[in-house]
Structure formats: structure tokens, C-alpha cells
Amino acid sequence: MTHLAARTESDARRLNLLSCNILAGGSVKRYRDYVTHSWKHVLPHGKRANLDGLARVIGEFDLVGLQEADAGSLRSGFLNQTQYLAEAARFPYWTHQPNRRVSRLATSSNGLLARLHPDEVLDYPLPGRIPGRGALWVRFGRGDASLVVVIAHLALGPAARARQLAFLAEIIGQHPHAVLMGDLNTPAQGKELDLLYARTSLVRPEHAPATFPSWRPTRAIDHILVSRGIEVEKRWALPHPVSDHLPIAASIVMPAFATTEPSVDAS
């Protein structure tokens, strides 16, 4: 991929985004696999090959948000999967947010792979009766011209999701150029997200592709939501069954004055 600094002004404002729940590199092809292949979820069998397949797909994107990436435990062969994907797909920047650890057996984290230099990275624990979920908040650029990207994986229960969505609304606010991407476990057109749209600059998408289950997607629960100041040229699900979710992608265009070029370190 051409580095952003080498693009024309028009191209530099266009970003390709991807979000995916990778199930720690696991593979599920039917509902009964959750039971019959349950041993694969706690052992590293086949996960490296699945990650290699994903790395070949994500190279065309500028920002990639990951959910359920293992940060280094038995089930991943003690591999930090966010770092592995960043290096395999040649992303110059990556960061991750470990949220839940089950002894040495499993860890779960949000992750971000980027071709832009992040100016600020913040980790937020999400509220919930059972701890272990978080939001990864990343800013590119400065001031109102900056881009804020938040990656989150929300709870299965509606009561917990409501508290988590209220918290996300606080940390996103009315920032004019914001992106929320992740496994939100609720449809974009449903009532649950009304509060988020009301309290932030994010807008309800016209089209929400189905991403779950990956072998026969019928539910649109993975999302890339953007603020009203960002144009979405296209939003689609990739036909690449990484886990039990399909990746969701979006091509966005930032306003001409917004910062999408990598920062240059003084050193």
C-alpha cells in the first residue's frame, strides 16, 4: 500500500477501515463447533494459520480494529496476536488493551493496527457486573481536525450494554471526527443505540451488513459507526470467515482540513 504521505491531497483524506472479532484466532463453521471443537478454544491448534490468512487480507487497510485478540496465553501459544498481525501485515504502529485474563489459559484484548502515527492512546475499562471488557481510545492529529477512533467489544446482556453505551457516549462526545468500531452485540438500527446517536456526533448508518454467524450471516452486530462530519463511501462485510464473525469494512473520506497524515516526531 502507498504510504499516506505519498498520496495526493484527495487520496490522503480517504481511509480504509476494518473491524473484526477474531475469536483468538479460532475457527467456527457451524453452531455445533462451539461444543464439538471446544478443546480448540483453549489450545493453540490451527490459530497461527488462521492469523496468517487474516494477515493476507488486512494489508489493504489503513486502520484495523481487533476484538477478542489473545495477548499471550496457552490458547495462542503465548503469542501476542495483535503484534503478530501487525508485523505479518507490515503495519508500522500497533497497540492493544488486555481486558480479561483467565490464569495462563486465555487472555482477551482489543487491538489496533495503524498506518498512521497515533498521537494519544487511552485505555478505558467498561462498566459491567462482570469485569473484563474495555474501550481502546486512539487519537490521530490534534484539536478539532483530529480523528478519534474507539474500539470496543460490548456485553451480551442488554442491561450491561446500556451502561457501556452510556460510557462510550461520554468518551466520544460531540467530537466532529469520530469512529466507533467493534463487536457491539446489537443491531445498528435497533433502539439500544439511540442514546449513543443522541449524545455523540455518531450517526445511524443507512446500511449495516450482516456479520454473524460467519458461515451464514443474518445479524448485523459488528459495526463501523462514524460522525456526521465523515463521509462513508462504502460499508461492507468481507467474505473471509476469520472466526464466528465476518470482518466489517468501510471506506471513509475525511474533510479537507482534517488531520489524516502521520505525525512527524521531533526526534
pLDDT in tens for each of the 267 residues of the chain? Answer: 334 444 445 555 899 999 999 986 666 654 444 444 443 455 445 678 889 999 999 999 999 999 999 887 766 566 899 999 999 999 999 999 988 666 566 687 899 999 999 999 999 999 988 888 999 999 999 988 999 999 999 999 999 999 999 999 999 999 999 999 999 999 988 899 999 999 999 999 998 999 999 899 999 999 999 999 999 999 999 988 778 899 999 999 998 766 555 444 433
Q: CA 51, CA 67: separation in Å to the nearest integer?
A: 13
Asked whether residue 120 is domain-assigned, the answer is: yes
Asked whether residue 212 is domain-assigned, the answer is: yes
Domain of residue 244: give its range. Answer: 13-253
Asked whether residue 265 is domain-assigned, the answer is: no
H or E segment to which residue 129 belongs: none
Strand locations in 70-133 (E): 93-102, 106-114, 120-125
Report how far apart, in Å, the C-alpha atoms of 69 and of each of 111, 120, 191 are. Answer: 7, 21, 29
Measure the CA angle with vertex 54, ends 259 and 151; round to 5°: 45
Asked whether residue 267 is domain-assigned, the answer is: no
Phi, psi of 88 (to 5 degrees): -70, -35
Asked whether residue 2 is domain-assigned, the answer is: no
pTM of this prediction?
0.86
CATH code of the domain covering residue 135: 3.60.10.10
Please list the residues that pair with 202 across neighbouring strands.
Answer: 227
Asked whether residue 207 is domain-assigned, the answer is: yes
Q: State the total domains in the chain.
A: 1
13 CB burial (10 A radius; 0-12, 13-18, 19+): buried
